[in-house]
Amino acid sequence: MKPLNRNDVCWCGSGRKYKKCHEAFDQQIEHYRLKGFQVPTRAMIKTKAQIDGIRESGLRNIEVLDTVAAKICAGMPTSEIDRIVEETTRKLGGIPAPLNYEGFPKSVCSSINDQVCHGIPSENDILQEGDIVNVDVSTIYGGYFSDSSRMFIIGETDPAWKKLVEVTHEAVIKGAEIVKPWGFLSDVAQVVSDIAKANGYSIVREIGGHGVGLEFHEDPWVGYTEPKEPGLLLAPGMVFTVEPMINMGLPDIFQDEENGWTIYTEDGSPSAQWEVTVAVTENGHEILAY
């Protein structure tokens, strides 16, 4: 890549001169790279206009989840969750990102009890008293993607299952709160791992968070098991999800061979997942979808 002169137009597309836009940013990135750290590519850095667009998408994603929260109940087939998500998303001017994504047949993922993620809504899956269910909503609005999920407890459940849901929520929020410029992805993983371990839980190793905004899934991949090295440097403009999948039992998982999507815990133990979309800002972070 040809080096930019200070008076050239900045690489980010802002139209501003490089010296008044990303020159100091690039110098900071280079400082860390020369010290041997893994640094983000320019493709991982969003502009203010792009983050504004992701935020607008996120507001609609939140409204969709709020609508689900107001209606979800025992006796409801998960196909009804799918209907609510699709109708609400389109009413708000958006498109459900999961629909037909790499062949996924529905507008939302609904994962019950020992289903870790990617549960496919069905008229045959009826929510029962005591179930815990993850509803994972992703929205395209104005060409921008947002992604967040919530756990719902159907009626009253086993206190141990309720604790799993609450601890996973705590891990996600505290993981997001640690995000700051010139920190590392390992900071997030350490917080999440510490909380899970302190409560006797395990974290799914194979599936993690991801960059999001211009596409549904972008770099970087975000893991949450205890880090062995600092990992990727965090820089202003990065947008990614914090979404650990925490199991009450062992971390081992398997994929449903019949539908090719749904992931289950190997030992049949319950699993919980919350997800937020977070942006790295100049001074800290902003949660764009929750």
What residue segments make up the domains of the chain, in order of their start? 37-289
| pTM of the shown model | 0.95
Record the tokens describing residue 287, joined without a space: 């949660």
Record the tokens describing residue 60, joined without a space: 């609609």
Side chain identity, residue 58: G
Q: How confident is the model at residue 172 (pLDDT cuts 50, 70, 90)?
A: very high
pLDDT value at 78 more than 70:
yes
Record the tokens describing residue 65, joined without a space: 């989840």
Bond from prior residue into 230 cis (ω within 30 degrees of 0)? no
Given this model, what pLDDT does residue 2 score? 64
In 3D space, the residue among 78, 121, 115, 126 whose CA is nearest the CA of residue 256 turns out to be 115
Assigned CATH for 37-289: 3.90.230.10
Residue 30 contacts residue 258 (beta carbons within 8 Å):
no
pLDDT value at 1 more than 60:
no
The C-alpha R_g of the chain, in whole angstroms, comes to 20
Residues paired with residue 240 on neighbouring β-strands, in sequence order: 211, 278
- Rounded to the nearest angstrom, the gap between the alpha carbon of residue 203 and the centroid of all alpha carbons in its chain is 15
End-to-end CA distance of the chain: 37
How far apart (Å, rounded) are the C-alpha atoms in residues 179 and 125? 37
Which carries the bigger pLDDT value, residue 20 or residue 242?
242
pLDDT value at 105 more than 90:
yes
Q: What does the pLDDT look like over 112-164, one tens digit per residue?
A: 999 999 999 999 999 999 999 999 999 999 999 999 999 999 999 999 999 99
